[in-house]
Structure 1
């Protein structure tokens, strides 16, 4: 079995499974939010604020945020490794791919930290 230095022990099967699980969670979250918006009698700041005052909603939203990050990371990693590696060959492709992955990882960490701050007021 061949593994790359950036795989961190992951396999294609686990990536596929993670994407499917996160997609299901994001679908459930989306249907819940859309349902809340359309079924709310008086949808506005007060009802939205009351919904997010519940701890379970903040946890559900945090799970959706983390699912978005994991889902996006796996998808972008797959696309980057396929296209950058096929577009360029050799050391330039590896360096460019690692720089892009580092930038995307920094954005993912920033958005995750920002989301946690918004949800929990830390």
Structure 2
């Protein structure tokens, strides 16, 4: 086993497939949500809040954002690897962006699943 396979267990083709799968799910989610929202006229805050009270919408939205995080993370790694050649700077930027994205994901999970109006 070489050092490259230990460093990067997900090869280029696997990352490409992950990005395509996440893009397909995110597109399906957005089209489904758009179709659901077109059935409500007028779209008021009460309609919006009641729509997101349903557990399927909450969890589908959470899965959407988790997959968006994964999709964006693969893109960030490719962009920083292509354009930032100094490894220390690249690692710092990647670390900062990763921590920021994880904090956002934690906040979103709390807001979607754990937040209560009571």
- Give the structure 1 partner of residue 114 of structure 2: 121
- Give the structure 1 partner of residue 24 of structure 2: 24
- Give the structure 2 partner of residue 98 of structure 1: 91
Q: CA deviation at 1:2?
A: 6.1
Aligned ranges 1:23-62 → 2 under 5 Å: 23-62=23-62
Gaps in structure 2 of 5+ consecutive residues = none
Q: CA deviation at 1:4?
A: 7.1
Structure 1's consecutive aligned runs of 4 or more residues displaced over 6 angstroms after TM superposition are none
Q: CA deviation at 1:14?
A: 1.2
Give the root-mean-square deviation of aligned CA atoms: 1.7
Q: CA deviation at 1:37?
A: 2.7
Q: CA deviation at 1:13?
A: 1.2
Q: In structure 1, what is the Cα distance between the partners aligned to 2:89 and 2:105?
A: 24
Q: How many equivalent pairs are there?
A: 114
Flag the 1:101–1:5 CA change in 2: closer, same or farther, 3 A. farther
TM-score calculated relative to the size of structure 1: 0.85
- Give the structure 1 partner of residue 4 of structure 2: 3
- Give the structure 2 partner of residue 89 of structure 1: none
Q: In structure 2, what is the Cα distance between the partners aligned to 1:11 and 1:71?
A: 15
TM-score calculated relative to the size of structure 2: 0.87
- Give the structure 2 partner of residue 110 of structure 1: 103
